[in-house]
Every structure is written in structure tokens, then in C-alpha cells.
Amino acid sequence: MRNKSPSEHRQNWFLHTTLTICGVGAYNARGYVNGTPVLRR
């Protein structure tokens, strides 16, 4: 397995972080709609 270049690694990290934030945001939004703010990963 070859080593990833720094830019490639940064891109993957950015994508993963974006997906995580979107997932948590959607989860929290659903909680707020239900009337109970939930902060969970």
C-alpha cells in the first residue's frame, strides 16, 4: 500500500469531516424538530 500524499490525506480528512458535520447536523436538526435538543456523535 503506497503512502498518500499530504494533499490527498487533507482532502480525505476534509471530506470525512464534512460528512460527519452534516450527519451530526441532520441528527441534531431532527432532535430540535422533536422538541428535544440532542448533542450526540
Looking at the chain, how many residues does it have?
41
R_g (Cα) of the chain, nearest Å: 15
Please work out, in degrees rounded to the nearest 5, the angle formed at the alpha carbon of residue 34 by the alpha carbons of 41 and 19: 30
What confidence tens digit (pLDDT) does each residue in 4-39 have?
A: 788 888 899 999 999 998 888 888 777 766 666 555
H-assigned helices in the chain: 6-33
Predicted confidence at residue 18, as pLDDT, reads 92
Cα gap 41→35, rounded to integer Å: 18
